[in-house]
Amino acid sequence: MFLEDASDALYPMRTYIESSMTEEGNSVANMMCLMTTRIEAIAKGIDKEQIASFVHAVLSANRIYVMGAGRSGLVAKSFAMRLMHTGFISYVVGETITPAIAEGDLIVAFSGSGNTKTIGDIAETAKGIGAKVALISSNPDSRIGRIADYIIKIETQRDPVTCDAHEYEIRQMLGEHRSFAPLGTIFETSSLIFSDAVISTIMTMRQIEESELQKRHTNIE
């Protein structure tokens, strides 16, 4: 009798938990749909001539260097990996095995603000050496944008921080995070999809089969 009473007493709680889980599931699904809609609008808004120039720069570069801070850095590493799979010589700036950059090389900076200090410093150094600079950003009128040879504008709104030029690590310690929301760090998500789309386009142009990429995929995991 006691167990039956306890079970009856817990029923409203179980119902509440199940209802909450359903609401959270719907919320996540709705957020995904909202983000997908926003990214589609961003994709349609990217200047097609800018895209063509960027793809040509990638195809004609001797070597390709990529860089970014924080989540943008993760996008940059993903792009470098896909470039390697496609047969390009690619490096991530800051890695111990990354060689000196030279004239004829291309450096691709992923920076939503276009003002990240270390990324700007490196871009200016590469430019001075004679390398071409490409910027993937939501702010072309920025420190890196003013020296870039190629710009891809990812049109997004970004959550404000005290100083957008601060290092990612400094903003992290200060607690000045951007929320992962459609109007927050949608830049990184859009940049990731853009870079994958560039790789897919190059594969089509060069008639590269997926099996060729698989041959360059790591086999020592």
Question: Among all residues, which ones are annotated catalytic?
Answer: 188
Q: At what angle do helices 71-86 and 186-205 cross, to 10 degrees?
A: 10
3-state secondary structure the chain: CHHHHHHHHHHHHHHHHHHHHHHHHHHHHHHHHHHHHHHHHHHHHCCHHHHHHHHHHHHHCCCEEEEECCHHHHHHHHHHHHHHHHCCCEEECCCCCCCCCCCCCEEEEECCCCCCHHHHHHHHHHHHHCCEEEEEECCCCCCCCCCCCEEEECCCCCCCCCCCCCCHHHHHHHCCCCCCCCCCCHHHHHHHHHHHHHHHHHHHHCCCCHHHHHHHCCCCC
CA–CA distance, 80 with 62 (Å, rounded to integer): 14
Q: 175 in the Ramachandran plot: left (φ > 0), alpha (ψ -120 to 50) or beta?
A: left
